[in-house]
């Protein structure tokens, strides 16, 4: 079916490799966020797209789900990215006598495309797993170096910068969507 609609093919990059996609908006969405950010994408059977891929046209999208059609085309649910974030990690430098000299949050990764959503009362009703302190939830590729707050290698939880404002990483969920992290953020008061 993909090849029957060549007039609708849009050139794109899937994880930095050239590809073609047929894009359409999700037509069953009932919220403004759903209407604006949720898309369907159809890729050829030989495409390298997979769950968690970054698809870039004029806009950028993260692949949330994927299934094969009867023609072996790859039919995906995509979410449009709406932010570029930075991940920072707390580091501390010591002198030769183990006295702390300098402590700071240093950049681990920059220019990461993400879908960021502000937590509203309606979102809290729909997602019972949100912490009371969660201000934003975001989706990023699982290749991004962001650690769970419980990671023993961390002194303090990671920090994520959105629009030049710092937020503390409270939860990193790698099960909700394969190859994507669903991250809960709270106000960073450090």
Residues forming a β-bridge with 147 = none
Beta bridge partners, 78, equal 39, 63
Percent of the chain, pLDDT > 70?
95
The residue among 89 and 190 whose pLDDT is bigger is 89
When pLDDT is cut at 50, 70 and 90, the band that residue 172 belongs to is very high
Cβ-contact 14, 55 below 8 angstroms: yes
The CATH number that domain 2-80 falls under is: 2.40.10
Q: What is the DSSP string of 162-177?
A: ETTEEEEEEEEESSSS
Classify 83-187 by CATH class.
mainly beta
Per-residue pLDDT at 190 exceeds 90: no
The residue behind tokens 């403004």 is 32
Name which of 12-16, 84-88, 126-130 the model is least confident about.
Answer: 126-130
Tell me what pLDDT residue 30 has: 66
pLDDT in tens, 84-127: 999 999 988 888 888 877 888 999 999 999 999 999 998 899 88
Give 15: exposed, middle or buried? Use CB within 10 Å, 0-12, 13-18, 19+. middle
**pTM for the whole structure:** 0.89
Per DSSP, what are the bridge partners of residue 38? 79
Strands 10-14 and 17-25: antiparallel
Domain boundaries, the chain: 2-80, 83-187
Task: Kindly indicate the confidence band of residue 32, based on its pLDDT and cuts at 50, 70 and 90.
Answer: low
């Amino acid at each position: 079916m993909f090849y029957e609609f060549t007039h609708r093919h849009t050139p794109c990059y899937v994880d930095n490799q050239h590809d073609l996609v047929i894009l359409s908006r999700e037509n069953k969405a009932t919220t403004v966020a759903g209407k604006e950010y949720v898309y369907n994408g159809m890729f050829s059977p030989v495409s390298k797209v997979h769950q968690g891929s970054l698809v870039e046209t004029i806009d950028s999208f993260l692949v949330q789900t994927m299934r094969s059609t009867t023609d072996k085309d790859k039919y995906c649910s995509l979410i449009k990215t709406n932010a570029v974030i930075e991940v920072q990690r707390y580091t501390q430098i010591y002198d030769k006598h183990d006295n702390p000299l300098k402590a700071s949050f240093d950049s681990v990764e920059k220019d990461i495309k993400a879908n960021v959503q502000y937590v509203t009362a309606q979102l809290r009703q729909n997602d019972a797993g949100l912490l009371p302190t969660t201000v934003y939830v975001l989706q990023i590729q699982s290749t991004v170096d962001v650690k769970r707050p419980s990671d023993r290698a961390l002194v303090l939880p990671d920090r994520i910068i959105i629009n030049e404002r710092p937020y503390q990483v409270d939860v990193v969920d790698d099960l909700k969507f394969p190859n994507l992290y669903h991250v809960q953020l709270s106000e960073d008061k450090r």
